[in-house]
Each structure stands twice: as structure tokens, then as C-alpha cells.
Amino acid sequence: MSSQSDAARPPSEERDYRPEVTFEVLGVAHEPFAAQPTLRFELSVFEPTDRPIYAISLTAQINFDPARREYDATTREDLYELFGTPDRWPSTTRSFLWTHASTIVHSFAGAITFGLEVPCTADLEMVASRYVSALPDGDVPLTFHFTGRVLYQGPQRQVQVLHLPWHTTAQYRMPVTAWKDMMKHHHGESGFVILHNDTLEEFKRYKRAHGLHSFDAVALDLLKHVPVDDEGENG
């Protein structure tokens, strides 16, 4: 009577040998020495069987989930351009894309922590900046949707590849202060908007003609000529 070798494992046993990894987002902080505003998320990955994992080639799609937090009346006004009037919020505050980020998780058995760096922008024409900048405090609800390949040790110590299943996700509530501290570190009290080149040329002409020292001064001078009251109406 011959015994069954590992090489002759039936397909069901081979499937059972595949690792099942889960991810958790542990925290976030900004990278103070990065060339541009960058958040570093600290994550962990867990594999319950302790089998050797050689590497994970990982990509995260990060979504905002605005419906998962509360908003006061002032914040709702600030977010009007993104989500519309309050009666529309049940449909307009659905999960939406922020960004994608990728990294390599190095070899481990059981569990390991790793970093995921996410470049950010202060441009207030971008939806992400407009959304987070409008939040006075609290947190930013996020969902990480993971894709990638897991390289692991097979039953004969061979390298095998597993694609992460589509339902591999993790939720996290990012403190608003993490974003705002990062932007203040890199840009002080400044914000940014994208202007068409023709508009910039008009700003330059106005600045020279009126002897103004900056584009901030140009904007303030123009606003003096078109005052806006507290209800947003032209005075």
C-alpha cells in the first residue's frame, strides 16, 4: 500500500494550502522630509497559518466614505459645491475615489507591519483637498481596497502566486489633524488653486498697474470692489 506524496495532493488540499491574508490600518502621520506633502499610513498584514510569505506586491485604492461621519450646518455649507443641497446628500455622499498607492510587503510569517506612502496635494480645485479642508475636526472615513499578488511557499517549498481576492478591504478613520498638520508643515497658511494661463496674465497686469506686491494682494484688492455679504450675495 503506497502513501500519497505531497506532490500528488488533490486539488482540494492544494486550495486549502493557500494563504488567507487580512489587512488592518493602524495609524497615519505625515512625512516631514518628503519633497511634497505625503501621508504615511502604517498597516499590518496577518496570515493565520504562519506559512512563509515571500512578498506581497500590493496596491491600495483609497476611497473617501463621507456618509460615515456627521457634519454641522457650517460644514454642510462649505461642502455645498461637492454634495449639493442637504436633500441630495443621501445620494451624493456615496464612497468616491481619493487615490491609488502601491508598495512591496517584504517576507514574513504570521504577521508584519509596513508603511504605505500617499502623496497629497493642497490644490483646492482637487476634490480630495476641498473635502478634507472643509472638515473642522473629527476624522475622515476611508476604505482601502487592496489588489495584488502574494508570493508564498507551496507544499514542496516552491514559490507560488496568489492574487488577492476582490473583497480584501480595510476601513480606517483618519484624523483631520493629520492632513491639516501636513499641509501646514509644507505650505504654512497657504492654499492653492489652478488658474488658466490667460487668467494669470490678467492678474500680472493688474498687479503691475496697481503696484501690488503679490497675487494675494491682487485678490484682496479685487474683492474690495465686489464685496460679498454673509449670505453670499454681492453687496
Give the model confidence (pLDDT) of 59-72 as tens digits: 999 999 999 999 99
Q: Are 152 and 108 in contact (CB under 8 A)?
A: no
Of 3-7, 87-91, 115-119, minimum mean pLDDT range: 3-7
Read off the pTM.
Answer: 0.78
Exposure letters 140-153 (e unless 16+ CB within 10 A, then b)? bbbbbbbbbebbbb
d(CA 60, CA 134): 25
Q: Are 98 and 172 in contact (CB under 8 A)?
A: no
Alpha helices in 86-134 (DSSP H): 89-92, 127-134
Place of cell 476582490: 166
Reported confidence tier of residue 126, pLDDT bands at 50, 70, 90: confident
Give the model confidence (pLDDT) of 135-179 as tens digits: 999 999 999 999 999 999 888 888 999 999 999 999 999 999 999
Collapsed DSSP state (helix, strand, coil) of residue 28: strand
Q: Are 151 and 55 in contact (CB under 8 A)?
A: yes
Give the model confidence (pLDDT) of 39-58 as tens digits: 999 999 999 988 899 999 99
Please, what CATH class does the domain formed by 6-187 belong to? Answer: mainly beta
Question: Which amino acid is it at 235?
Answer: G
